[in-house]
Structure 1
């Protein structure tokens, strides 16, 4: 019989599904949480590396390379930190742009576009001539590349963290939530190691002339590898089916906000619930390096090495946070650690002004707290979103948390500490603690009201 004349058979259900249409349940054997975790860690590590490379360059290179017209290095560093913050300001726009591309052309097209933009911006920074050669056009181009970097980062949201949280065993969700955050210490470890090696082995003239550019070349190469690694996961039939089964597809913001069921409110509750951790993020990574550079005579290379050890401790602390969260709950873990961050904040003046030993203690304790808290900061209230809003809600919650918690942290901390002393940093961290505790309390109250 001619195959073209055979009666059409109903399509088989997608691989990884079982049950009746409309009530499809993913087959957990089709998408293993461990496989999802690999994609999440690879993707996040490359993104964090890009951002830490820029953040460290803001302290070590950009004041001399792009802002030599500033009246002193402090002002030049503040200018650099202003450009640093722009990526976080435009990140929500990148998220919305990426979701629009995904709705029209598909997930793989969105991810390829985002990673192409991210790679282009990073390579552009690596090859950008300095202020002496281009004048203010160099500053304009640096700013433009940074904005493109932020838009690209927002557009890279692939839904895998949410899928990981859903597919994780109920009694191990704290552990799996932590895995995606491991990209942060890993990205900082690689970035700080590269800068420490270059700073310690090049003359100051060579470092400013070309040495600082090398980490940006490496970032571009890592982006290429990460792109193919993530595409290999995201575009497979099993992952597409699992994402669709859990309704992890982009929804329109007006639909999310206009439901009348508190879905828009969940974005801000989730962002503020993680605020203490996000506030600490740049206070122990980028800000202290600027303080050491500007206000002390300590060795920058030695301080970077201490920060590398701190990143290793944060990497160890994150799995511990997963174990703690499995035992007492993720929200309780966040609340306890937010309180500890507030207490830690009041040690800032004594430790950062306490010589080599005090500064090392600040970095190491800060990174441990960061590992414990940031390990559970992702999606702490994501379950509040209705299933078909969870993809968009989780992405925007993360964007808002970065914007209000971390974007301006180096700029504000350096500016306030220079004018009012390091005690200003203490109150900055305390404000994050208060916001986190209030948000967690409000979330608990609303959850009880819904029940």
Structure 2
């Protein structure tokens, strides 16, 4: 199997390629999550009452997460058999095309039931593309790095999260500030989706110049390559690495579910139930993203010294300790209190998320790495996609205990990640520590 071996000088290009793609991924997902909270319930689910429309929007939001494991399986196979680069070129084009199409999708008023049907199809395709995006980017940059700087470089795909969200929040905030609510609901929400197209072109241009990793090249050309060719990576993961897969799902859970808990769910609750101005809470998301960018870098650098598992444990414990104080703030009902809760929650869950890439890559061998980390990350995402839906149901039905019960959901998520991180430390493989010429 012909493969271009990575050169040391290519590390910066690989870092840029990994970062820009995942930034676009989170930009796209933030757009859909925010639009689901603010627009889609009236644009595509017009015949439903407000609560039912919101739940239908969040259910559509969750469909993308359900599709992600399928994308992880498909592109994990491509990445493990034919190269991380080939996988990443396909996912970035698919991601940009689908998100751009959402920006020109007619509403229910124009084409009736075909509108939500097409939205669901596009969301499913978006989920497939993104199911392969993070795993390819994470495997590629981690395999390029060395043990002494792995914590930082493995963090870069995660850094795409606050940067992508920052751009998404910035665009939404600008539009809601310069447009009337009527104009934003009518057409303004489409602009951020259309902007994904030029972003995609830039990311594609960067990716065409990257090299494959030495680890993948060695695996592809090694003595066992002929035997490996007859294996299906996905089957190998389920057959021989089930325990690692389960641990990986738990490791990724808090970082993904926590963001949609503190951002998407609280944004919807604050605007729908508490009547807080949309722009104010979008600005809170902007502040959280700005804070998380330097914090991600710091956690990545610290992971170089103490390891990713230690960082993830710190994040899990901090989330457990501060989950209930967060909802004490939410219970006050003021715009400032809810905004502080959103920023606090986003900052807390970012700790575990920043370290998750390193932990996941060290769980799986090179031959099945992209399939393994992709499945773990995206199966966690499939469950996480339902978190805003579940939290909305809890807070609308739990009566006087609604805030405590909703905070308890976040605590459970954090505890799952804590236990899984401890298990992952014991299952760590030395593959990435080996010197590859």
1:424 alignment counterpart: 405
Using a 3 Å threshold, how does the CA distance of structure 1 residues 118 and 165 change in structure 2: closer, same or farther? Answer: closer
The CA RMSD measured in Å over matched residues stands at 2.6
1:282 alignment counterpart: 260
Q: Which runs of 5+ in 2 are unaligned?
A: 222-227, 430-437
Using a 3 Å threshold, how does the CA distance of structure 1 residues 225 and 447 change in structure 2: closer, same or farther? Answer: closer
Q: Which has the higher helix share?
A: 2
1:411 alignment counterpart: 389
2:175 alignment counterpart: 198
Can you list the C-alpha shifts for 1:29-59, whole angstroms capped at 9, x where unaligned? 3543x33211111111111111111111111
Question: Does the Cα contact within 8 Å between 2:315 and 2:352 map onto a contact in 1?
Answer: yes
| CA deviation after TM superposition for structure 1 residue 100, in Å | 4.8
Question: Does the Cα contact within 8 Å between 1:131 and 1:139 map onto a contact in 2?
Answer: yes
Question: Does the Cα contact within 8 Å between 1:348 and 1:423 map onto a contact in 2?
Answer: no
Q: Secondary structure at the match of 2:141?
A: helix
Using a 3 Å threshold, how does the CA distance of structure 1 residues 98 and 54 change in structure 2: closer, same or farther? Answer: same
Question: Does the Cα contact within 8 Å between 1:416 and 1:425 map onto a contact in 2?
Answer: yes
Give yes or no for the alignment of 1:353 onto 2:327: no
2:356 alignment counterpart: 377
1:210 alignment counterpart: 187
Aligned counterparts of 2:287 and 2:424: Cα–Cα separation in 1: 36
Question: Does the Cα contact within 8 Å between 1:315 and 1:371 map onto a contact in 2?
Answer: no
| CA deviation after TM superposition for structure 1 residue 145, in Å | 0.7
Using a 3 Å threshold, how does the CA distance of structure 1 residues 102 and 331 change in structure 2: closer, same or farther? Answer: closer
Aligned counterparts of 1:77 and 1:214: Cα–Cα separation in 2: 22
Q: Secondary structure at the match of 1:239?
A: coil
Q: Secondary structure at the match of 1:417?
A: helix
Give yes or no for the alignment of 1:48 onto 2:21: no
Using a 3 Å threshold, how does the CA distance of structure 1 residues 158 and 371 change in structure 2: closer, same or farther? Answer: closer
In the comparison of the two structures, how many residue pairs are matched?
A: 416
Q: Secondary structure at the match of 2:24?
A: helix
2:148 alignment counterpart: 171
1:20 alignment counterpart: none
Give yes or no for the alignment of 1:265 onto 2:247: no
TM-score normalized with structure 1 length:
0.85
TM-score normalized with structure 2 length:
0.87
2:367 alignment counterpart: 388
Aligned counterparts of 2:269 and 2:261: Cα–Cα separation in 1: 10
**Higher relative contact order (Cα pairs below 8 Å, separated by 6+ residues):** 2
Using a 3 Å threshold, how does the CA distance of structure 1 residues 447 and 330 change in structure 2: closer, same or farther? Answer: closer
1:437 alignment counterpart: 418
Q: Out of 218, 221, 235, which is 1:245 matched to?
A: 218
Q: Secondary structure at the match of 2:276?
A: coil
Using a 3 Å threshold, how does the CA distance of structure 1 residues 149 and 240 change in structure 2: closer, same or farther? Answer: same
Larger radius of gyration: 1
Using a 3 Å threshold, how does the CA distance of structure 1 residues 446 and 307 change in structure 2: closer, same or farther? Answer: closer
1:295 alignment counterpart: 273
Using a 3 Å threshold, how does the CA distance of structure 1 residues 99 and 310 change in structure 2: closer, same or farther? Answer: closer
